[in-house]
Amino acid sequence: MSERLQHLSKRGSEFLGVEHPIMGGAMSWLSEASLVSAISNAGGFGVIACGSLNPNELEKEIEKTKKLTDYPFGVNLITMHPQLSDLIDCCIEKNISHVVLAGSIPSASSISKLKKAGVKVIGFAPALSLAKRLIKSGLDALVIEGLEAGGHVGPVSTNVLAQEILPNINKVPVFVAGGIGRGEAMSFYLEMGASGVQMGTRFVCANECIAHENFKKAFLRANSRDAVLSIQLDDRFPVIPVRSLKNKGTKLFLNKQKEVIEEFDNGKKTMPEAQLDIEHFWAGALKKAAIDGDIDNGSVMAGQSIGLIKREQSLSEIINEFIIQADLRYNN
């Protein structure tokens, strides 16, 4: 690695405690012990996707991961989880060094509890105003994720978010996510002031990823334009856009919305029940595709960088290739 790339990577690498400032995006069902440990063993920073796991399940996943790597890794917790406090306790008891709080603005009590235990807390900032607010609340680092990413995304592109936030935030490390598929993108954002990047889509076709063979094949066949955003049918039921490959599952989500809206209008469901029913669709649909291999009816969540993935590789090959690409501009 060139001296310039080392210099640009230093802050993010030191914050994460790893060789390369590359975080693994927390992908439900896939960011488990095998993939997380492989990312960390390759010099990046793996992150367990807690998702809907209960504290006992999370504890087991952490223990499995620790058996597979001696390097640092983190845990992503969803702030709306009904057992969030217990999950935080689990992370503290298991000496997790970094926790990513995702899903909504993290509460002051959650941040304080983690920081008092010496845990570094990372959160998502979809706008400059929120980034400043999160820093004031005590967050140790931020992730800015653009709409090019897979899964649930915000409304602004990575490029615009980076221009809005990176020149104005230097108090804490900022990691850029969404559409990151090659190393040149990392060096570009490092030059702009980022401390590192976060990738999810790029790691799905890693040998160590437990995704079903059908799911990986769908990734290898797809073009960037195939990863589309979900459609919201009714303003009364806001749907956070989800980016996935267009298939029958996309239509099934529209049908699900129609069904739930009709049940609400007929008094069969309350608004919170209807909203929850719509959101629950994605968890089951993703598992159907990613784990069971039903890529027609399930949700093949993927970012637009999917078009850059050409073959299955080991995690070490992916990250080594990524760093070589990032270093190209400094070695020519």
pLDDT in tens, 35-83: 999 999 999 999 999 988 999 999 999 999 999 999 999 999 999 888 9
* Residue 263 and residue 325 in one domain: no
* Residue 136 and residue 163 in one domain: yes
232-253 confidence digits (pLDDT tens): 888 887 777 889 999 998 888 8
Indicate whether 218 belongs to any domain.
no
274-299 confidence digits (pLDDT tens): 777 877 777 789 999 999 999 999 99
C-alpha closest to that of 145 among 179, 187, 178, 193: 178
Asked if residue 23 has pLDDT above 70, the reply is yes
Least confident of 95-99, 205-209, 231-235, 236-240: 236-240
Indicate whether 108 belongs to any domain.
yes
Q: Is 312 exposed, middle or buried (0-12, 13-18, 19+ CB in 10 A)?
A: middle
* Residue 88 and residue 56 in one domain: yes
* Residue 287 and residue 318 in one domain: no
Parent domain of 278: 223-301
* Residue 103 and residue 243 in one domain: no
Rg of the chain, C-alpha, whole Å: 19
Angle ∠(107,141,286) on CA atoms, nearest 5? 70
Asked if residue 140 has pLDDT above 80, the reply is yes
Indicate whether 217 belongs to any domain.
no
Indicate whether 215 belongs to any domain.
no
* Residue 37 and residue 140 in one domain: yes
Domain CATH code at residue 132: 3.20.20.70
Indicate whether 288 belongs to any domain.
yes
Total domains in the fold of the chain: 2
Cβ contact 302:205 at 8 Å: no
Q: Can you spell out the DSSP letters for 247-282? A: SHHHHHHHHHHHHHHHHHHTTSS-HHHHHHHHHHHH
User: What average pLDDT does the segment 69-98 reach?
Assistant: 96
Q: Can you spell out the DSSP letters for 177-233? A: ESS--SHHHHHHHHHHT--EEEESGGGTTBTT----HHHHHHHHH--GGGEEE----
* Residue 257 and residue 122 in one domain: no
Q: Which residue has the tokens 């980076």?
A: 162
